[in-house]
Chains A and B, each alone.
Chain A
Amino acid sequence: MDAVDARNLTKRYRRRGGSTTAVDDVSLVAVEGEILGVLGPNGAGKTTTVEMVAGVRRPDHGSVRVLGLDPFTDRAAVRQVLGVQLQSGFLHGALTVRELAHLYRTFYGAGRDPDELVATLGLEEQRDVRYERLSGGQQQRVAIVLALVGDPRVVILDELTTGLDPQARRQVWGVVEDLRDGGATVLLVSHLMEEVERLCDRVTLLESGRVVAHDTPAGLVAAAGLGQRVRFRVARPLPPALLDRVAGVEEVAVRGEQVVVTGRGDLLQEVSTALVRAGVVATETRLERATLDDAFLALTGRPLTDDPSAGPRATTAPTEEAA
Chain B
Amino acid sequence: MTTTVPAVTTPSGRRAPSRPGPRAWAALVGAEARMVARDTAGLVMPFGMPVLILVMYGVSDATTIAVPGSGGRTAFDVFVIPVVLAIVVGIIGVINMPSFLAYYRRSGVLKRLSVTPASPAMVLVAQVVVSLAQTAGGVALALVVATVAFDARLPASPGVALGVLALASAAMYAVGMLVAAVAPTPNAALALGLVAFFAFGATGGMFGAVSNLPEPVARVGELLPFGAAVQALGDAWAGQPVETAHLVALCGAVVVGAVGAARWFRWT
Contacts and interface: CB of A to CB of B under 8 A. Distances in A.
Given A80-B117, A88-B108, A90-B107, A95 B11 contact: no
Contacts of B23: 106
A309 to B, nearest CB: 29
Measured as residues with beta carbon below 8 angstroms from the partner, the interface class of chain B is 35 or more
A103 B29 CA distance: 10
Nearest to A68: B9
B115 A92 contact: no
Interface stretch (A14-22, A58-66, A292-300): A58-66
A72 B10 CA distance: 15
A150 B16 CA distance: 11
Contacts of A88: 108, 111
A91 B34 CA distance: 13
Chain A: interface secondary structure?
A: loop
Given A69-B11, A86-B112, A103 B27 contact: yes
Which of B9, B31, B118 is the most central at the interface, judged by chain A CB atoms within 10 Å of its CB?
B31
A93 B3 contact: no
A308 interface: no
Interface string B1-34: 1110100111101101111100110111011001
A200 B14 CA distance: 27
A97 interface: no
Nearest to B117: A79
A122 B11 CA distance: 32
Interface string A70-85: 1011101101111010
Measured as residues with beta carbon below 8 angstroms from the partner, the interface class of chain A is 35 or more
A115 to B, nearest CB: 15
B1 A99 contact: no
A103 B111 contact: no
Given A77-B18, A94-B35, A94-B39, A107 B115 contact: no
A109 B16 contact: yes
Nearest to B20: A107
A76 B109 contact: no
Contacts of A61: 1
B212 interface: no
A54 B28 contact: no
A88 B112 CA distance: 8
Contacts of A150: 116-117
A126 B39 CA distance: 21
B64 interface: no
Contacts of B8: 68-70, 74, 77
14 contacts: A70-B2, A74-B5, A79-B115, A86-B111, A88-B108, A88-B111, A93-B35, A94-B38, A94-B39, A103-B31, A106-B28, A109-B18, A146-B116, A153-B11
Interface of B: 1-3, 5, 8-11, 13-14, 16-20, 23-24, 26-28, 30-31, 34-35, 38-39, 107-109, 111-112, 114-118
Interface of A: 54-56, 59, 61-64, 67-70, 72-74, 76-77, 79-82, 84, 86, 88-95, 99, 102-104, 106-110, 130, 146, 150, 153
Q: Which 6 A-B pairs have the closest CB atoms?
A: A109-B16, A89-B112, A90-B107, A76-B18, A94-B38, A84-B115
